[in-house]
Amino acid sequence: MTAMPMALFADAENVSQKQAAGIAATFFNAAYGEHVAAPKLHWNGRQLTTNRLFAPFYVYNHPKGGFVIISADSKAFPVLGYGLKGRFDKDKLGADEKKLLTQYAREIELIRYDSRTPDRAIEAWQKMPQAIYAFLNNPYSTPEFEALTDEQQEFIELIDRRNGWIMIPSAVEFPVYDPERFRDYVLEDVLGNEMEAEDVPFEFYNSFISELEEEERMKAAALEELINPTRPVVKYLGGAHYSISFPENVRMVRVYGMEGTWKLERYSEGTPLLSLDLSSLGSGFYAVMVLTEGGKVYGLKLSR
């Protein structure tokens, strides 16, 4: 039995990989009716979220066969889908399967900003064994599935028939995701209902000019940063040697172990360029604190 801390349900809360692994293990024990080996994490779906900022779910494959998808947020339902044959392979997803997983990712991303309380999802997290039993034995006896149109139900059942996958219709219990808002823009979006056809060239021309101006501005900013940097520029020279350029002359540098112990100290004068050799230190990461002549302190994390 997997118990989740009550604090997890107060607001949107990330579900750690360790917590998800425990739920996945509980799921497979229930599915196979015996205590089985621990499942292995295969994928976290990060590629399906905006700018890959976070993991929406965890997919675990089991050595005995099968997979389970565990939500990475406690405002979504805990178990999103499973199969008890074969293995899940993210590189071999069909269009329908990827569409549904993308929907889950978007829903979990958006539910974090929704103020409503997901009562049924919270209950499922709090009563995990019962939720797993219900999903294994009556996966389609849910309000979410019954609310689907015939076409939507057929979509879910088709994935089941094709792969032997049982997938829930939605990762959350109320609508938060509108695919229309996430699609690519088309010509009709630019035209709108009131724009005349002859206005289109001017709209595109103005947009094109704005894009060119923004591109030139970004190039100029990048060139200025190379000539007069506003932040440290680190170059790795190999063999634990670094060359670091600063916006102003360097006065002192100290190197600390990540546990806080002082390892090295050096002084400099009249140059913004710091040559740093970490070859005398053991392997690992180090915190580098640099004081400039102007009194500004920079912090860097370097590896040996």
In one letter, which amino acid is 53? Answer: L
Cross-strand pairs, 265: 254
| Token reading at 170 | 């939605």
| Contact assessment for residue 168 and residue 77, using Cβ atoms and an 8 Å cutoff | yes
CA–CA–CA angle 124, 141, 87 (5° rounding): 75
What is the predicted pLDDT for the residue at 8?
A: 47
Q: Which residues pair with 267 in a beta bridge?
A: 252
User: What is the per-residue pLDDT for 125?
Assistant: 95
CA terminus-to-terminus distance, the chain: 43
Q: What pLDDT does residue 7 have?
A: 43
Tell me how far apart the alpha carbons of residues 259 and 288 are, in angstroms, rounded to a whole number. 13
Asked if residues 82 and 69 have their Cβ atoms less than 8 Å apart, the reply is: yes
Token pair, residue 20, equals 């998800």
How confident is the prediction along the chain (304 residues), in pLDDT tens digits per residue?
Answer: 444 444 444 444 689 999 999 999 999 999 999 999 999 999 999 999 877 778 999 999 999 999 999 999 999 999 999 999 999 999 999 999 999 999 999 899 888 877 788 999 999 999 999 999 999 999 999 998 999 999 999 999 999 999 999 999 999 998 876 665 555 545 555 445 444 444 445 555 566 667 777 777 777 766 665 566 667 888 888 888 888 888 889 988 888 887 677 788 889 888 988 899 998 998 888 888 888 888 787 888 888 8
- pLDDT on residue 297: 79
* pLDDT at res. 1: 46
pLDDT at 197: 46
pLDDT of 79 reads 98
DSSP string, the chain: --PPPGGGGSS--BPPHHHHHHHHHHHHHHHHTS--PPPEEEE--GGGSGGG-S--EEEEE-TTS-EEEEESBTTS-SEEEEESSS---GGG--HHHHHHHHHHHHHHHHHTT--S--HHHHHHHHTHHHHHHHHHH-TT-SHHHHTS-HHHHHHHHHHHHHH-EEE-S-SSSS----HHHHSPP-HHHHHTTT--GGGHHHHHHHHHHHHHHHHHHHHHHHHHHHHS-SS-EEEEEETTEEEEE-SS-EEEEEEEETTS-EEEEEE--S-SEEEEE-TTSPSSEEEEEEEETTS-EEEEEEE-
Rg (CA), the chain: 27
Distances (CA, A) of 275 to 13, 124, 235, 253, 290: 44, 57, 10, 10, 12
Q: What is the distance of C-alpha 204 from the center of its chain?
A: 34
Q: Is the pTM of this model over 0.75?
A: no
* Size of the chain, expressed as the number of residues it contains: 304
Cα–Cα distance, 257 to 15 (Å, whole number): 31
Q: Which two tokens stand for residue 161?
A: 């028939």
Question: In sequence order, what DSSP letters do the residues of 7-49 get, joined into one string?
Answer: GGGSS--BPPHHHHHHHHHHHHHHHHTS--PPPEEEE--GGGS
